[in-house]
């Protein structure tokens, strides 16, 4: 067991980050957390942005740095946060993404039914709590918003949490999309607490406006980039087809952990009920799943005898992504029917297999939800008002949900 647990991490975004807590150090060293080194923060976005290879490990460490800064500044302003609470809320932010699987949202929509990473995060935290003899109990309370001091949960999960403050700066840094740069230092300095709720002092209002605009732009330019969407939906269809093939009894090349999810019908209930596979708990099996499990398997699947799985896998491996068209209104039935006929004609597939080659869906973007955990501004006279009321510019557009419709199909169809 290591005795020197006061470590310094050199982070490319925030510089030197000091790990001051032995508990934090031991959690970072745990295999559940080390696994995050091998899960990319932005999934397949590196297909578009070559530098976007940073991981959820780095993001979690950055969020810890910002949380400690927020605690320090709130204490200076007289907000009472005990040492126990400070460590617990730091543990909560450290572990907030621990339930993410490889290519998280693709996995959630393909080979596991009803899986949401937030619920898996709680299950993993509860498992860690047993291993650490109850030392994570308070952190779990804060994470689940069951602790009396609600502002601590807001620091972990809200519309102005340290999670967002880190990922916007970090994702902007690694993608090179400068529109995502935010003044996280300034925002943290302007935080305060009133009536057990997080507020922003009036001097920080312009930084909040910039934060909301940056978030909107990052969604359109990075997270919902049309080529990234094309790659992610291609991955979803690959995993769906692989599971369909595996469930029919056809043995696929896959790592043991991935095979469990391909060859069995698994839902969230299996996690909650403590189901076991290969002599291990399902939670432990999930915690060994990483990006490389999926990528290595797809590289082999491009040579599989199933033509649909082989074609889709080869498209992703060789970056022959589907064409994607976006528009502000839904696609007409005649347009979709024409595409469906072209797919059948070009690839010789049955009608029930057309959805593997033709994806029709929609995306939404809203930088700020006025009905959910509002961002409140502390005025000079002590009055508290919501950001839309406090701002001297019209932010209503950021609260409006913008929906765009898209369709993806193989470029071989060559439909303009």
Kindly report, residue by residue over 282-334, the tens digit of the pLDDT. 999 999 999 999 999 999 999 999 999 999 999 999 999 999 999 999 999 99
| CATH value at residue 347 | 1.20.1250.30
State which residues form the domain around 272.
226-363+406-413
Per DSSP, which regions of 293-401 are E strands?
A: 323-327, 359-365, 376-378, 384-386
Beta-strand ranges (E) seen in 273-358 are 276-277, 280-281, 323-327
Residue 313 and residue 284 share a domain: yes
Asked if the structure places residue 16 within a domain, the reply is: yes
The two three-digit tokens of residue 194, written as one number: 């009133």
Assess if residue 106 is contained within a domain. Answer: no
Whether 112 is in a domain gets the answer no
Do 282 and 159 belong to one domain?
no
Number of domains, the chain: 2
Q: What is the CATH number of the domain that holds 77?
A: 1.10.3210.10
Domain co-membership, 84 together with 203: yes
**pTM as predicted:** 0.94
pLDDT in tens, 128-140: 999 999 999 999 9
- Read off the pLDDT band of 3 (50, 70, 90): low
Q: Is residue 30 part of a domain?
A: yes
Shared domain check, 340 and 296:
yes
Same domain, 249 and 324: yes
**Cα separation of 46 and 63, whole Å?**
22
- 337 and 267 in a single domain? The answer is yes
Q: Could you report the per-residue pLDDT of 65-82, keeping only the tens digit for each?
A: 999 999 999 999 999 999
Both 236 and 210 in one domain: the answer is no
| 50 inside domain | yes
Whether 68 and 176 map to the same domain: the answer is yes
Please name which of 70, 81, 92, 91 lies closest in space to residue 24, comparing C-alpha atoms. Answer: 91
């Amino acid at each position: 067991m290591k005795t020197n647990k006061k470590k310094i991490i050199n982070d490319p975004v925030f510089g030197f980050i000091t790990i001051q807590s032995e508990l934090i150090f031991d959690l970072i060293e745990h295999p559940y957390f080390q696994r995050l080194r091998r899960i990319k923060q932005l999934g397949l976005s590196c297909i578009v942005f070559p530098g976007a290879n940073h991981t959820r490990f780095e993001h979690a460490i950055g969020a810890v740095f910002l949380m400690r800064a927020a605690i320090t500044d709130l204490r200076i302003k007289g907000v009472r946060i005990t040492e126990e609470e400070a460590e617990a809320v730091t543990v909560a932010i450290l572990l907030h993404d621990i339930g993410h699987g490889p290519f998280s949202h693709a996995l959630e929509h393909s080979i596991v039914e009803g899986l949401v990473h937030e619920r898996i995060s709680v299950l993993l935290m509860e498992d860690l709590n047993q291993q650490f003899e109850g030392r994570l109990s308070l952190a779990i309370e804060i994470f689940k918003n069951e602790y009396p001091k609600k502002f601590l949960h807001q620091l972990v999960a809200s519309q102005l949490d340290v999670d967002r403050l880190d990922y916007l700066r970090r994702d902007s840094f690694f993608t090179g999309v400068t529109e995502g740069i935010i003044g996280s230092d300034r925002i943290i300095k302007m935080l305060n607490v009133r009536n057990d709720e997080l507020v922003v002092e009036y001097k920080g209002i312009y930084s909040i406006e910039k934060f909301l605009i940056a978030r909107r732009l990052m969604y359109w330019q990075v997270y919902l980039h049309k080529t990234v969407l094309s790659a992610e939906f291609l991955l979803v269809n690959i995993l769906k087809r692989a599971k369909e093939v595996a469930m029919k009894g056809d043995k696929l090349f896959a790592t043991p952990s991935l095979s469990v999810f391909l060859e069995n019908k698994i839902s969230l209930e299996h996690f909650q009920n403590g189901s076991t596979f290969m002599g291990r708990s399902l939670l432990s099996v999930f915690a060994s799943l990483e990006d490389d499990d999926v990528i290595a398997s797809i590289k082999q699947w491009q040579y599989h005898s199933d033509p649909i799985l082989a074609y889709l896998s080869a498209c992703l491996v060789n970056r022959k992504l589907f064409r994607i068209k976006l528009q502000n209104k839904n696609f007409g039935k005649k347009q979709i029917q024409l595409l469906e006929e072209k797919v059948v004609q070009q690839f010789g597939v049955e009608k029930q297999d057309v959805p593997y080659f033709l994806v029709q869906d929609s995306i939404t973007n809203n930088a700020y939800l006025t009905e959910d955990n509002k961002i409140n501004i502390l005025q000079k006279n002590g009055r508290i008002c919501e950001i839309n009321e406090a701002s001297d510019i019209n932010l209503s557009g950021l609260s409006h949900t913008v929906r765009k419709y898209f369709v993806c199909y193989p470029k071989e169809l060559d439909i303009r």
